[in-house]
C-alpha cells in the first residue's frame, strides 16, 4: 500500500483564522487583497497542485534523481512541466511586491503553501523556495537597478536564485571563507572560488540562475567582518535586460545524497565570474541573514511537512493493516483480526505525530503572522514587538520542528513495521528527505547556540519578555476557568521550568560559557515544547466552545489531541530541566584523548 496525501486545508483555516485572527491582516496597508475568500481559493488551488502534480512526482523523482553531464544538470522527468505550472499559477510571486509583478499576499499565506509543497515533494519545493530567499535579500539590500532587473524575473519564475555560503573548509564558521572578489574599473568584481552544497545550484527549470555569493575583497578585515555579498548570474545581463553571454560560473559536480535526490546539490566554481556588490562592502552577513532567516523559517516548515506526510501515510496504513486482536477484546469480530489502529502503542505513535504536526503548524503560523505585522504595520511599537518575537523563535522553529519532523518520519515507518522499510510503500523516503532539514541552514546545534548565546540576552532580555509576558498573561487569565484547568496547569508547570532554566543559563553562562553551550540543545527543545503547549492550550480554549455545531468532531479531536499533548509529550520538560541543571562538567571534564 502506497502513501497518501490530502492537503489539510481545514486545519490551516482553523490556525490562520480561528486561532490567530488572520482576517485582521487584510486591514494592514498592502494586504487589502488578503480577504478570506481569496486566501482560501489560493490554498485550494495549491492543495490541488500539491496532491495531483507534486505528490506523484515525489517517488519517481527520488528514484531517478538529477542527471549531470558535461556541466549540465537535468532534473527528473516531469519536474520542468510541474515547475512551469507552479509559475503559471502565480505561486512564485504570491508574497512578492506588486511593484515587481507579485500578488502582495501575506507571508503567512505563503507559508501554508510552502508546507503543502514540501509535504508532497520536498526536493521540488526547494527550487522556488531558494528563489524566494534570494528575492528577499535583494529586495532588502539591493540597489534600485538590481531590484528592477532581477526581482520581476524571480516573480515570473523565469530566473531562479541560490545561496552560496559553504566552502570545503568552512560551513558554520563563515569567517574562514576564501572566495575572492577583486574590484574592476567598471564597478563590478571578479569572483573566484568554489562553493559546495549549493542547493538548486544548476538545473534546467529556468533560463537563468542568480547566485548570491559570499566573498572577500582584497582590503577586507579578517574574519566574518570582512565578508561581502555579491550577485553573480549564470548568464550576464544585457542593457535591455535580455540574456547575454555565459558568465564564469560552472557546476563541477552534483552530490550523491541520503535524500532530496531530485534537488540538485552542486559544487559551483567561480572562475573570473562577473559579480556585483549587494549592499555595503564588508557587510555581507547582514544582507545574507535576510535570506538565511527566511530559509530557516522555511526549513522549519519542512519539518512540519515531514510530520504531516508521515501522519497521513501512517494513519491510512493503521486503518487497513490487520494484525492480532485488541487487548480488551475483538473490536472487529467479523474480521480475522483487528486493524492495528486499535493497539495502544500504534495510537501513541499516531497521536505523537498528530500533536506535533498541528502544534507546529500553529507555532510557525503565529510567527509568520508576526513577520507580516513587522513588514506592514504602520505602528513602530507593534513592528518592533513583532520583529523581537520572530527573532527569538526563528531558531526554535527551525530546530524544534525539524527534530520532531525527523522523529515523526521514523514513527511513520515504525507504524508500517517491516513494510515501512521497503521502498515501494514510500515511508522510508520521508525519513531520508527529512534528515537534511536538521543540518542545512545552520545545524540544529547552531540554532540552539544562537538561542542561548544571542537571543536570550539581546536588549537586556527584551526578546524573552516578548514571549514570557503573553504566556504568563494567558495562564493567569485561564487559571480559574474550570474546563481549562487540565490544559493550563501543565502549561504553567512547564513554563515555570522554562523560566527557571532561562535564569540559570543566564547566570551560569556568564561565569562559564560552556554551561550555556552544554544546556543549549535541551533548552531549545524545552522552549519548543512550552511554545507548543501555549498553542495547544489556546486551541483547546477555542475548541471547547464549539463542540455542538456541524463540525463537532473536528473540535472534539482538537481537545483530545491537546489532552494527549499535555499528558504524554509536555512532561519531557521535566527531564530536560533536570539535564540542564546538571551543567557541563560531565561533558567538558572528559579528556580529549579518551574519545
- For residue 366, give the C-alpha cell: 503565529
Q: Are 228 and 282 within 8 A, CB to CB?
A: yes
Phi and psi angles of residue 215, each rounded to the nearest 5 degrees, phi first = -150, 170
> How far apart (Å, rounded) are the C-alpha atoms in residues 113 and 303?
14
Q: Tell me the catalytic residues.
A: 441
> How far apart (Å, rounded) are the C-alpha atoms in residues 176 and 222?
9
Nearest alpha carbon to residue 66 among 118, 124, 125, 132: 124
Q: Are 220 and 227 within 8 A, CB to CB?
A: yes
559 burial (CB, 10 Å; 0-12 / 13-18 / 19+) is buried
Locus of grid cell 475483538? 330
> Alpha carbon 542 to chain centroid distance?
26
Nearest alpha carbon to residue 183 among 208, 128, 220: 220
Phi and psi angles of residue 207, each rounded to the nearest 5 degrees, phi first = -75, -30
Q: Are 497 and 522 within 8 A, CB to CB?
A: no
> How far apart (Å, rounded) are the C-alpha atoms in residues 37 and 374?
24
Report which DSSP code applies to 421: G
> How far apart (Å, rounded) are the C-alpha atoms in residues 29 and 341?
49
Distances, alpha carbon 592 to alpha carbons 280, 381, 588, in Å: 42, 49, 9
Phi and psi angles of residue 6, each rounded to the nearest 5 degrees, phi first = -135, 125
Radius of gyration, alpha carbons of the chain: 24
Nearest alpha carbon to residue 79 among 206, 169, 172: 206
Contacts of residue 401, Cβ cutoff 8 Å, sequence gap at least 6: 300, 301, 303, 304, 307, 360, 363, 364, 528
Locus of grid cell 474480521? 335
Amino acid at each position: 500500500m502506497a502513501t497518501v496525501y490530502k492537503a489539510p486545508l481545514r486545519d490551516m483555516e482553523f490556525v490562520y483564522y480561528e486561532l490567530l485572527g488572520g482576517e485582521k491582516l487584510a486591514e494592514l496597508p498592502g494586504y487589502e487583497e488578503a480577504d478570506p475568500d481569496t486566501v482560501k481559493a489560493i490554498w485550494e488551488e495549491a492543495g490541488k497542485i500539491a496532491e495531483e502534480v507534486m505528490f506523484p512526482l515525489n517517488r519517481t523523482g527520488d528514484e531517478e534523481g538529477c542527471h549531470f553531464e558535461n556541466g549540465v544538470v537535468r532534473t527528473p522527468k516531469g519536474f520542468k512541466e510541474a515547475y512551469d505550472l507552479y509559475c503559471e499559477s502565480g505561486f512564485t510571486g504570491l508574497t512578492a511586491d506588486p511593484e515587481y509583478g507579485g500578488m502582495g499576499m501575506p507571508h503567512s499565506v505563503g507559508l501554508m503553501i510552502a508546507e503543502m509543497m514540501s509535504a508532497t515533494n520536498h526536493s521540488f519545493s526547494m527550487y522556488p523556495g531558494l528563489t524566494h530567499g534570494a528575492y528577499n535579500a535583494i529586495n532588502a539590500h539591493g540597489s534600485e537597478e538590481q531590484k528592477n532587473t532581477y526581482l520581476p524575473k524571480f516573480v515570473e519564475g523565469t530566473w531562479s536564485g541560490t545561496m552560496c555560503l559553504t566552502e570545503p573548509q568552512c560551513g558554520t564558521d563563515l569567517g574562514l571563507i576564501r572566495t575572492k572578489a577583486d574590484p574592476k574599473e567598471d564597478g563590478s568584481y571578479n569572483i573566484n572560488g568554489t562553493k559546495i552544497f549549493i542547493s538548486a545550484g544548476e538545473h534546467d527549470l529556468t533560463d537563468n540562475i542568480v547566485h548570491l555569493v559570499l566573498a572577500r575583497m582584497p582590503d577586507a578585515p579578517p574574519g566574518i567582518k570582512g565578508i561581502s555579498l555579491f550577485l553573480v548570474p549564470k548568464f550576464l545581463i544585457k542593457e535591455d535586460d535580455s540574456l547575454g553571454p555565459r558568465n564564469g560560473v560552472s557546476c563541477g559536480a552534483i552530490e550523491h545524497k541520503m535524500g532530496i535526490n531530485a534537488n540538485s546539490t552542486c559544487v559551483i566554481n567561480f572562475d573570473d565570474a562577473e559579480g556585483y556588490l549587494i549592499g555595503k562592502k564588508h557587510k555581507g552577513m547582514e544582507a545574507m541573514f535576510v535570506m538565511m532567516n527566511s530559509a530557516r523559517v522555511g526549513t522549519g516548515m519542512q519539518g512540519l511537512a515531514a510530520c504531516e506526510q508521515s501522519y497521513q501515510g501512517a494513519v491510512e496504513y493503521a486503518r487497513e493493516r490487520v494484525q492480532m486482536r485488541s487487548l480488551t477484546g475483538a473490536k472487529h469480530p467479523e474480521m480475522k483480526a483487528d486493524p492495528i489502529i486499535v493497539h495502544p502503542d500504534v495510537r501513541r505513535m499516531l497521536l505523537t505525530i498528530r500533536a506535533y504536526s498541528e502544534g507546529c503548524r500553529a507555532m510557525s503560523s503565529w510567527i509568520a503572522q508576526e513577520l507580516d505585522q513587522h513588514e506592514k504595520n504602520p505602528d513602530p511599537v507593534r513592528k518592533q514587538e513583532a520583529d523581537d518575537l520572530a527573532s527569538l523563535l526563528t531558531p526554535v522553529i527551525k530546530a524544534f520542528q525539524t527534530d520532531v519532523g525527523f522523529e515523526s518520519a521514523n514513527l511513520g515507518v515504525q507504524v508500517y513495521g517491516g513494510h515501512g522499510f521497503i521502498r515501494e510503500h514510500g515511508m522510508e523516503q520521508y525519513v531520508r528527505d527529512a534528515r537534511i532539514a536538521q543540518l542545512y541552514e545552520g545545524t540544529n546545534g547552531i540554532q540552539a547556540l544562537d538561542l542561548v548565546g544571542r537571543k536570550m540576552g539581546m536588549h537586556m532580555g527584551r526578546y524573552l519578555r516578548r514571549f514570557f509576558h503573553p504566556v504568563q498573561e494567558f495562564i493567569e487569565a485561564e487559571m480559574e476557568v474550570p474546563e481549562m484547568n487540565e490544559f493550563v496547569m501543565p502549561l504553567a508547570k512547564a513554563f515555570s521550568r522554562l523560566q527557571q532554566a532561562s535564569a540559570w543559563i543566564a547566570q551560569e553562562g556568564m561565569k562559564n560559557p560552556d554551561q550555556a553551550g552544554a544546556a543549549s540543545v535541551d533548552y531549545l527543545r524545552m522552549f519548543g515544547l512550552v511554545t507548543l503547549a501555549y498553542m495547544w492550550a489556546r486551541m483547546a480554549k477555542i475548541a471547547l466552545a464549539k463542540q455542538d455545531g456541524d463540525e463537532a468532531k473536528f473540535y472534539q479531536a482538537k481537545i483530545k489531541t491537546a489532552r494527549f499533548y499535555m499528558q504524554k509529550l509536555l512532561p519531557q520538560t521535566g527531564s530536560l530541566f533536570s539535564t540542564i541543571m546538571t551543567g557541563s562538567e560531565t561533558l567538558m571534564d572528559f579528556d580529549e584523548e579518551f574519545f
